[in-house]
Every structure is written in structure tokens, then in C-alpha cells.
């Protein structure tokens, strides 16, 4: 991580101790780094801060309400939207405080504002944030956490998850990474009965 990104990280991580973001965001960061290798023309100075800051707004939503805002059935669309609005507010404060390039700040918060609810992508960096955000769902810890949280039997949840790849991902590399992770999860489930 370069100095500029590290400074943003130090501020962003203060907001990760809510929901499962202290696991999710570092994994999303690693996935973003891997995606960047396949799309070197993407601006890392937009992508990396956007991924580090995209979910800081969850900290503003009480833990007991968060479960209604995501998953196979979203019970409260306004809460889902609220985490984006709060993430934009906090990200703007952090990026301004560290004197981040104002033109890049604008692109970053535009991506964050809609990272979850906006169904189309605004730019290559936006596509990569959206894909990096979703890849953790295909990791063993993401699968294990979500199937319990959503109250679905593991095999049923894994089958459902595998069907979402073409719908969720914007980049070919993102789809490829999701399929590779999915194959590992499926193999584990069939061989040992857990992830
Ligand atoms: Fe989010
Ligand atoms: Fe996220």
C-alpha cells in the first residue's frame, strides 16, 4: 500500500468494526488489488480509496437493523440506501481531512454513492469496486457467515450463490475469480460437508 492509500486506510479502518466489515473490507481490498493486475489502466488512486471507504457508513446504522438491508431478500431498501449515503458523508470527511486530490475525491464518492443500489457501472473503476465488493461472498468465510445469517442450509445457499455470478459481476476477470472460488467451495462442501 502506498503512503497515500495507507493514510486513507488508517482513517477508514476506524469504521470497520460493525457488521462483518473488519473481515469483508480487507478481503475486498485484496480482491481489488488482484483485479487491478488484469485492468492496469484503472486508476488505483480512485479504486483503492473507494474500496477502503465504501462501507464505512454501516457504522452509523444500529447492528440490529443491518440484517434487514442486504441478502437474498432485502427487507428494508431505505436502510440499504442509508449505508451508501452515510459512507459518502464519512468518506468525504476523511478524504478532505487528508487533502486528497479533489477531482479524485469526487470520483471516489460518486462510486461509493450507489456501489450497492446502482445497477449500472459509471466507469472501469466503478466496475472493479462493484466486483471486488462481491468477491468476498465466494470465500469460505463469506459463504459460512452468510448462509448462517440468511438462515439457509449450506448446500442450498451455495447453489443459489453460484447462480448469481453472471448477474452480479461486471468484468470478465471478476466472473473468473468468482467461478474459481465457487469451485473450491463446492468441492469442500461435497467432500467434507462444510467450507
Ligand atoms: Fe456496501
Ligand atoms: Fe461491501
Range of the structural domain that residue 99 is part of: 3-192
108-130 tens-digit pLDDT: 999 999 999 999 999 999 999 99
- How far out from the chain centre does Cα 146 lie? 14
- Ligand nearest to the CA of residue 31, numbered in listed order: 2
In angstroms, what is the span from residue 115 Cα to ligand 1's centroid? 6
In angstroms, what is the span from residue 57 Cα to ligand 2's centroid? 10
Count of structural domains within the chain: 1
In angstroms, what is the span from residue 34 Cα to ligand 2's centroid? 17
| Structure confidence at residue 182 (pLDDT) | 98
34-60 tens-digit pLDDT: 999 999 999 999 999 999 999 999 999
| Structure confidence at residue 73 (pLDDT) | 81
In angstroms, what is the span from residue 191 Cα to ligand 1's centroid? 33
84 neighbors 115 (Cβ within 8 angstroms): yes
Mean pLDDT for the stretch of residues 164-186:
97
Instruction: Judge whether residue 184 has pLDDT over 90.
Output: yes
Stated pTM of the model: 0.96
In angstroms, what is the span from residue 21 Cα to ligand 2's centroid? 7
| Structure confidence at residue 67 (pLDDT) | 83
57-103 tens-digit pLDDT: 999 999 998 888 888 887 888 999 999 999 999 999 999 999 999 99
Q: Is 6 exposed, middle or buried (0-12, 13-18, 19+ CB in 10 A)?
A: exposed
Q: What is the CATH number of the domain that holds 12?
A: 1.10.3210
In angstroms, what is the span from residue 40 Cα to ligand 1's centroid? 24
SS3 content of the chain, % helix, strand, coil (to 5): 75, 0, 25
Residues 6+ apart with CB under 8 A from 154: 143, 144, 147, 189, 193, 194, 195
Mean pLDDT for the stretch of residues 179-186:
97
Amino acid at each position: 500500500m502506498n503512503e497515500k492509500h495507507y493514510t486513507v486506510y488508517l482513517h477508514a479502518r476506524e469504521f470497520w468494526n460493525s457488521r462483518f466489515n473488519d473481515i469483508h473490507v480487507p478481503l475486498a481490498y485484496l480482491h481489488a488489488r488482484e483485479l487491478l493486475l488484469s485492468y492496469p489502466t484503472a486508476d488505483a488512486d480512485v479504486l483503492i480509496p473507494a474500496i477502503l471507504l465504501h462501507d464505512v457508513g454501516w457504522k452509523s446504522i444500529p447492528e440490529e437493523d443491518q440484517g434487514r438491508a442486504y441478502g437474498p431478500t432485502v427487507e428494508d431498501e431505505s436502510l440499504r440506501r442509508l449505508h451508501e449515503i452515510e459512507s459518502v458523508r464519512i468518506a468525504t470527511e476523511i478524504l478532505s481531512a487528508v487533502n486528497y486530490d479533489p477531482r479524485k475525491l469526487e470520483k471516489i464518492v460518486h462510486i461509493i454513492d450507489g456501489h450497492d443500489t446502482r445497477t449500472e457501472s459509471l466507469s472501469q473503476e466503478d466496475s472493479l469496486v462493484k466486483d471486488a465488493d462481491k468477491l468476498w461472498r465466494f470465500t469460505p468465510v463469506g459463504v459460512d457467515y452468510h448462509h448462517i445469517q440468511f438462515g439457509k442450509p449450506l448446500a442450498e445457499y451455495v447453489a443459489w450463490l453460484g447462480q448469481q455470478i453472471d448477474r452480479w459481476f461486471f468484468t470478465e476477470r471478476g466472473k473468473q475469480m468468482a467461478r474459481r472460488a465457487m469451485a473450491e467451495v463446492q468441492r469442500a462442501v461435497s467432500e467434507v460437508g462444510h467450507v
